[in-house]
Amino acid sequence: MTDGVERTVVVAGAVCHEGRLLAARRTAPAALAGRWELPGGKVEPGESPEHALTRELREELGIETEPLERLPGEWQLNGRLVLRAWEVRLLKGEAQPLQDHDAVRWLTSEQAFDVDWLEQDIPFVRDVVARLRSY
């Protein structure tokens, strides 16, 4: 970092299972409530992004997952937050909206754009949908 600004990474998981992609509907803040996202959250100080993603998906959806590879690109959410995404494999559990979401959907590649995604997630969704059939 050259400008002295402390940046926080927000990690998002494109969880893929049996040819479907997991989408979660946000409950907050008001401006984002009702929009669909690749679930995730902020990396804590000293935590790796992969660990943060595994933790967030367990806390928010009750699933055990394994991050695979990072998807290309990133999105500057604001001066402090940058969004990065990973392709993620489901290991165990049934995704339920335990916190921060009120619905989840497993989308086939045909359904992938049926939900109102946060704009910044769309490039990651597009990328991972192209690989969905290999799960």
Residues that bind ligand DCM (CB under 6 A): 10, 12, 37-38, 40-42, 77, 81, 83, 118, 120-121
E strand or H helix at 126: helix 122-129
Q: Choose between 20 and 100: whose C-beta lies nearer to ligand DCM.
A: 100
Question: In whole angstroms, how close is the CB of 94 to ligand DCM at the nearest point?
Answer: 21
Question: In whole angstroms, how close is the CB of 91 to ligand DCM at the nearest point?
Answer: 20
Q: Is 125 exposed, middle or buried (0-12, 13-18, 19+ CB in 10 A)?
A: buried
> How far is it, in rounded angstroms, from Cα 124 to Cα 106?
16
Q: What are phi and psi of 29, to 5 degrees?
A: -65, 175
Q: Choose between 10 and 132: whose C-beta lies nearer to ligand DCM.
A: 10
Q: Choose between 2 and 62: whose C-beta lies nearer to ligand DCM.
A: 62
